[in-house]
Structure formats: structure tokens, C-alpha cells
């Protein structure tokens, strides 16, 4: 049906051009809000009526007459109706809808994807400081970042995943001193234990392994402990490597990978922070006031100018952020997306202001941001606020252990990122239709069971006679399959993987309705093979959509 839609769109474009040169740009189809109104609709007549100084209803009549003579409309369209002030509703012939089954089966796992564009994109996500286990908020960020990467890969982009973390600063110092105190035998609650120290059991684990002189490995580093409790710098390096290893394990359990780990410290060591400050100074975008260096960020839409260098000579945190994003641009990434918590909202304007003020050719609006809220976790009807291991929050590993990787991913992606979300652990493990991931996965497994009972080769279904697919349930399912590619495109543009979860739930419901309405393994061979082709195509789209979310498509449940 995608090829059918392309033919019809070209015919619509041609008809509009004949009505008015340049009007072809208005050629577009949308889905009618009420299914009984038709399969496709266009508002082109209403859009053109005013500039052409014509009655929109009459213009729609003229356009309808032109479309009825076009070969693609004669071949694929059953009826064209006009509603209201000039809506044009198009009803397709059954054979037009049936084409989508062939297209899905022919393309398989690549169905819905676009050709390679040559565009390069970097998505930075998780970016947790190595001071403790990953919490549920990091999990939401990991699910979002990975799904957005997958979405853009379906659109032909070359996508690069990056993890940025602060490997210096106050938090790392607190980690080191907390570990040192544990190594000396102190614990939370002791008079010697500082209020700001990290209290989780993981600190005791790090201290024990440090004293045992163990070696830890992570994706980006390796370190062997000296065991010297007085060597604070050794403790710091070991603790960072230890927690980086722990975070790697969490991410692997979540099936998230990264192409690169970028250290904030490297921006200072390489001189990139000093370079960006010099660029801003030379461009006349800074000034001194009250012993501090300020950026004229109000010139770029910020609500006030921002301090870059404090009176003690240290830089505020957005300065290395500006230097970091300049490296992204210099590395050839024309599109950059940062997945961060809503507490980072204030950094957006100052980072973008710094990038514009630096004058290195970066376009306005660079980078893009996707901000997410934190997640409440409910288990047994009560909110869970702490993990024994972490000491003050629920970890991502807790959530995976209590439920599953698939459930955590699907649930954390099932709402818009900036909306509050409550993760119901009991619902996530329930094996019923109230559990959305179970509902979608069960639809896929149900189809696989039908195909297994048939016992044939799905590849032989690509060229079957699809004429028997005439029922309202079959046609509704085919129309929904045809929406998948455009849904992916829209979800990518809007950074909206939740749209994929909505679509998959709708597709699963549509399949279950079809399954209840028509028996598939009937005696009539022609009917049976047509229905098998339809459900095989449905399984393929369910598989493809789940893959975008990083969720498995089980064959048995």
C-alpha cells in the first residue's frame, strides 16, 4: 500500500499543479479521524481556496473531478467523497490495502526504514557520574536515548552513542573520602561519618575490594588497588573504575551500548576549556564584574548574563559543556541530541548562547534536548524509595531484577519524557492484557503459534492471492500496517518513542480483534494462505517496532 499511496500522492500533486502552478506542494494525505469516512483524506482544496479566491467546496468538486480521471485513482480508489466545507475523503479498493502485506513480507526486518541519508548524529545519554549505581531515572534516560538512536537509524541516519561523565570535582572527592572512611572501619552513623558522605552498601564493597588490592575493568579503564588506606588519590581512581564497571554491568543488563565514553577532565587537559574562553573573550562576548568573568548570554535570548569563571578561578559547569559541544560539531555531527533530566532545563539557554557567541559556525538551536522527569516506583501498592545497596534510591538493576529488561524498557518509554510516570512493579510482571508489554508480546507469540501450527515457509506467502482479505477486520489491520513507516518518521522528528509504544498496542489490539473474527487455519487453501500472509506481516511489524524500543519479540509465551 505504500507504493499505492505514492502513486496516489503523485496523481494528487499533478492535479493540484494543473489547478494552479505551485499548488502541488500542498499534496498530502492524512488519516480521517472517523474510520467510516474513508481511508485517506486531503485538505488541499481548503488550503488553496483563499489564495485562489475560490469557494473551497467548489474547488474540492473540481479537484475530485480531476482525480477521478487519473489512472492511479481509477486503479486503486473505490470512491471519493466531499464533506463539510471541502474535505476530500478517499475510499480505497480492497486490493489497494492488500498491497501492504506483500510489501511487509518482501522487506522483512527493514520494513519501515528509509534509505541511508549520509547524515551524522550524536546522542548523548545516561552520562551518570561514577559515584554510585544507576538509578531508575538513569534507566528512563537509557531507554529514551537508545530508542531515539534506533528511530533515527530507521530514517537512514548514521547514529553515534556517547556517554559523558564528570570524572573530577566535588562529587568524586566525596566518593573517595567516603570509601576511605569505610576502609578505615567507619560506617554511617558513626561520629566520624560526615553528613555529605555516600551511605550505600556499595561504598563498603568498594572499600573491601580496595583493601584486597583487586583489579577492576570497565569499558574505558582498568585499575589495580594499592590497598594503602592513606593513598586518597589511589582510592579515588579505584572507586571510579569500580563504579564504571558496575554501571557497565547495569547497561549490559539493559542491552544498552555506547560507541564512546567522553571524560570532562579531557576538556581541561587538552586545553579545550581555555580555548573556548579565549574565543568568547576575543569575540567581545565576556566582561569582568565583581571579580568574576561573565558571558553576555542575554544577547542570545537568555534571561540574564551568566558567570563563566568564579572569583576563585574555577569555571562554572556550563563552560566545559560549551567546549564539549564544540567538539561534537568539530567531529562532524550535524545533529546532536542530549537526553537529560528536567533539572538541566536552565543549562539549555546558556549552552546555546555560548555556542553562538563562540562564532565557530554552529547553527542556532544546536544541540537538541530531550528532558525527562524522574520515575516513582510502586510495589505492592506502596511507593519504594530506597535500595539497600544504593542507600537512598531504587536502582535500575533492582527494577530489572524485579521485572525484566523488556518490561522496564517498554514501561519507561510508554509516556512522553516530560510527563510524570509511576512504574508499577506488580503490573509489569502480570501476565494479562492490562500489562502493555505482555499484551504486545503475546500478540506476536500468538501469531508465531499459528504459523508453527501451519508448518509452512513464510517466504512462500509473498505472492499468494490476497483477494480473500475482504472483511472489515482484515482491512482495518492492513490500513494500520501501512501507517507504520510514517509513524516511525514522525516519532523520530518529535523524539517520541512513546508513539511507537502507542502504535504497537493499537496494532496488537487490531490483531486480536481480527483473530477473534476470522479463523486462520481453514480448509480452503486460498483463504488460509491469504490470512496467513496477513498475520505473518503483522508479526513482522510487531517485531520491527519492538526492536526500535529494544524489546524482544518472543515466539512463545
Whether residue 460 lies inside any domain: the answer is yes
Task: Provide the 10 A C-beta neighbour count for residue 426.
Answer: 13
pLDDT digits (tens, 9 = 90+) for 515-534: 999 999 999 999 999 999 99
Co-location of 514 and 417 in the same domain = no
Distances (CA, A) of 91 to 46, 95, 507, 545, 553: 19, 12, 21, 27, 33
Whether residue 282 lies inside any domain: the answer is yes
Instruction: Give the model's pLDDT for residue 533.
Output: 98
pLDDT digits (tens, 9 = 90+) for 483-498: 999 999 999 999 999 9
Co-location of 291 and 363 in the same domain = yes
pLDDT higher than threshold 90 for residue 75: yes
pLDDT higher than threshold 80 for residue 102: yes
Instruction: Give the model's pLDDT for residue 387.
Output: 63
pLDDT digits (tens, 9 = 90+) for 507-517: 999 999 999 99
Of 344 and 548, the structure prediction assigns the larger pLDDT to 548
DSSP line for 257-298: --SEEEEHHHHHHTTHHHHHHHHHHHTT-EEEETTEEEE-GG
Co-location of 164 and 270 in the same domain = yes
Q: What's the rounded Cα separation, in Å, for the pair 285 and 322? A: 14
Tell me whether residue 419 is exposed, middle or buried, using C-beta atoms within 10 angstroms of its C-beta: 0 to 12, 13 to 18, 19 or more: exposed
Whether residue 319 lies inside any domain: the answer is yes
pLDDT higher than threshold 70 for residue 424: yes
Provide the domain count of the chain.
5
Co-location of 444 and 522 in the same domain = yes
Co-location of 458 and 474 in the same domain = yes
Co-location of 413 and 363 in the same domain = no
Instruction: Give the model's pLDDT for residue 391.
Output: 65
Place of cell 576563585: 312
**In degrees, to the nearest 5, what angle opens at C-alpha 381 toward C-alphas 380 and 385?**
85
pLDDT higher than threshold 60 for residue 388: no
Q: What's the rounded Cα separation, in Å, for the pair 475 and 44? A: 26
Of 170 and 365, the structure prediction assigns the larger pLDDT to 365
Of 411, 429, 447, which closes a domain? 429
Co-location of 272 and 337 in the same domain = yes
Co-location of 160 and 279 in the same domain = yes
Tell me whether residue 118 is exposed, middle or buried, using C-beta atoms within 10 angstroms of its C-beta: 0 to 12, 13 to 18, 19 or more: exposed
Co-location of 271 and 139 in the same domain = yes
Co-location of 443 and 347 in the same domain = no
Task: Provide the 10 A C-beta neighbour count for residue 196.
Answer: 10
Domain carrying residue 313: 125-168+261-372
Instruction: Give the model's pLDDT for residue 3.
Output: 84
Whether residue 240 lies inside any domain: the answer is no
Co-location of 292 and 150 in the same domain = yes
pLDDT band for position 385 (cuts 50, 70, 90)? confident
Of 429, 444, 461, which closes a domain? 429
- We report the CATH number of the domain holding residue 12 as 3.30.1360.70
Closest by CA position to 9, among listed 28, 26, 22:
28
pLDDT band for position 165 (cuts 50, 70, 90)? confident
pLDDT higher than threshold 70 for residue 419: yes
Of 167 and 182, the structure prediction assigns the larger pLDDT to 182
Closest by CA position to 335, among listed 380, 370, 308, 374:
370
- We report the CATH number of the domain holding residue 366 as 3.40.50.620
Whether residue 254 lies inside any domain: the answer is no
Q: What's the rounded Cα separation, in Å, for the pair 384 and 394? A: 7
Whether residue 330 lies inside any domain: the answer is yes
Whether residue 104 lies inside any domain: the answer is no
- Examine residue 557 and say whether the peptide bond preceding it is cis (omega within 30 degrees of 0): no
Co-location of 52 and 82 in the same domain = yes
Instruction: Give the model's pLDDT for residue 33.
Output: 80
Residues 440 and 535 sit within 8 Å (Cβ to Cβ):
no
For residues 197-221, average pLDDT: 92
The DSSP bridge partners found for residue 88 are: 42, 82
- We report the CATH number of the domain holding residue 463 as 1.10.730.10
Instruction: Give the model's pLDDT for residue 155.
Output: 98
Amino acid at each position: 500500500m505504500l507504493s499505492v499511496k505514492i502513486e496516489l500522492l503523485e496523481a494528487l500533486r499533478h492535479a493540484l499543479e494543473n489547478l494552479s502552478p505551485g499548488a502541488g506542494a500542498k499534496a498530502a494525505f492524512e488519516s480521517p479521524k472517523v474510520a467510516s469516512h474513508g481511508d485517506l483524506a486531503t485538505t488541499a482544496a481548503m488550503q488553496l481556496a483563499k489564495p485562489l479566491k475560490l469557494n473551497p467546496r467548489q474547488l474540492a468538486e473540481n479537484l475530485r473531478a480531476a482525480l477521478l480521471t487519473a489512472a492511479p485513482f481509477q486503479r486503486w480508489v473505490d470512491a471519493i467523497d466531499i464533506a463539510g466545507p471541502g474535505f476530500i475523503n478517499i475510499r480505497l479498493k480492497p486490493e489497494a490495502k492488500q498491497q501492504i502485506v506483500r510489501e511487509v513480507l518482501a522487506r522483512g526486518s527493514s520494513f519501515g526504514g528509509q534509505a541511508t541519508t549520509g547524515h551524522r548524529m550524536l546522542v548523548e545519554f545516561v552520562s551518570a557520574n561514577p559515584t554510585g549505581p544507576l538509578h531508575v531515572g538513569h534507566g528512563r534516560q537509557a531507554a529514551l536515548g537508545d530508542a531515539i538512536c534506533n528511530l533515527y537509524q530507521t530514517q537512514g541516519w548514521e547514529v553515534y552513542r556517547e556517554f559523558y561523565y564528570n570524572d573530577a570535582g566535588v562529587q568524586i572527592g566525596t566518593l573517595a573520602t567516603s570509601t576511605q572512611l569505610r576502609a578505615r572501619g567507619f560506617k554511617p552513623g558513626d561520629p566520624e561519618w560526615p553528613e555529605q558522605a555516600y551511605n550505600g552498601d556499595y561504598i563498603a564493597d568498594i572499600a573491601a575490594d580496595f583493601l584486597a588490592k583487586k583489579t577492576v575493568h570497565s569499558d574505558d579503564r582498568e585499575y589495580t588497588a594499592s590497598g594503602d588506606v592513606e593513598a586518597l588519590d589511589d582510592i579515588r581512581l579505584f572507586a571510579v573504575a569500580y563504579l564504571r564497571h558496575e554501571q557497565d554491568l547495569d547497561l549490559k543488563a539493559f542491552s544498552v551500548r555506547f560507541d564512546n565514553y567522553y571524560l570532562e577532565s579531557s576538556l581541561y587537559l587538552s586545553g579545550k576549556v581555555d580555548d573556548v574562553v579565549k574565543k568568547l573573550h576575543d569575540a567581545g562576548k565576556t566582561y569582568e564584574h565583581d571579580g568574576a568573568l561573565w558571558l553576555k548570554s542575554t544577547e542570545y535570548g537568555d534571561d540574564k548574563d551568566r558567570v563563566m569563571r568564579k572569583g576563585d578561578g574555577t569555571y562554572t559547569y556550563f563552560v566545559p559543556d560549551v567546549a564539549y559541544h564544540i567538539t561534537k560539531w568539530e567531529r562532524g555531527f550535524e545533529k546532536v541530541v542530549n537526553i537529560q533530566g528536567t533539572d538541566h532545563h536552565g543549562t539549555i539557554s546558556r549552552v546555546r548562547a555560548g555556542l553562538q557567541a563562540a562564532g565557530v559556525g554552529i547553527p542556532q538551536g544546536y544541540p537538541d534536548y530531550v528532558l525527562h522527569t524522574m520515575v516513582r516506583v510502586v510495589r505492592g501498592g506502596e511507593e519504594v524509595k530506597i535500595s539497600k545497596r544504593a542507600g537512598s534510591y531504587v536502582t535500575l538493576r533492582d527494577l530489572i531484577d524485579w521485572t525484566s529488561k523488556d518490561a522496564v524498557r517498554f514501561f519507561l518509554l510508554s509516556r512522553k519524557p516530560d510527563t510524570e510516570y509511576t512504574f508499577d512493579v506488580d503490573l509489569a510482571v502480570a501476565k494479562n492484557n492490562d500489562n502493555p508489554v505482555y499484551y504486545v508480546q503475546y500478540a506476536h507469540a500468538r501469531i508465531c503459534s499459528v504459523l508453527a501450527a501451519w508448518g509452512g515457509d513464510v517466504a512462500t506467502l509473498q505472492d499468494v492471492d490476497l483477494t480473500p482479505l475482504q472483511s472489515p477486520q482484515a482491512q482495518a489491520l492492513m490500513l494500520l500496517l501501512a501507517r507504520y513507516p510514517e509513524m516511525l518518521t514522525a516519532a523520530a522528528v518529535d523524539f517520541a518513542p512513546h508513539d511507537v509504544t502507542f502504535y504497537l498496542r493499537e496494532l496488537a489490539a487490531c490483531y486480536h480483534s481480527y483473530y477473534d473474527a476470522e479463523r486462520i487455519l481453514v480448509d480452503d487453501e486460498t483463504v488460509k494462505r491469504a490470512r496467513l500472509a496477513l498475520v505473518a506481516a503483522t508479526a513482522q511489524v510487531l517485531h520491527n517496532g519492538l526492536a526500535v524500543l529494544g524489546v524482544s519479540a518472543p515466539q512463545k509465551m
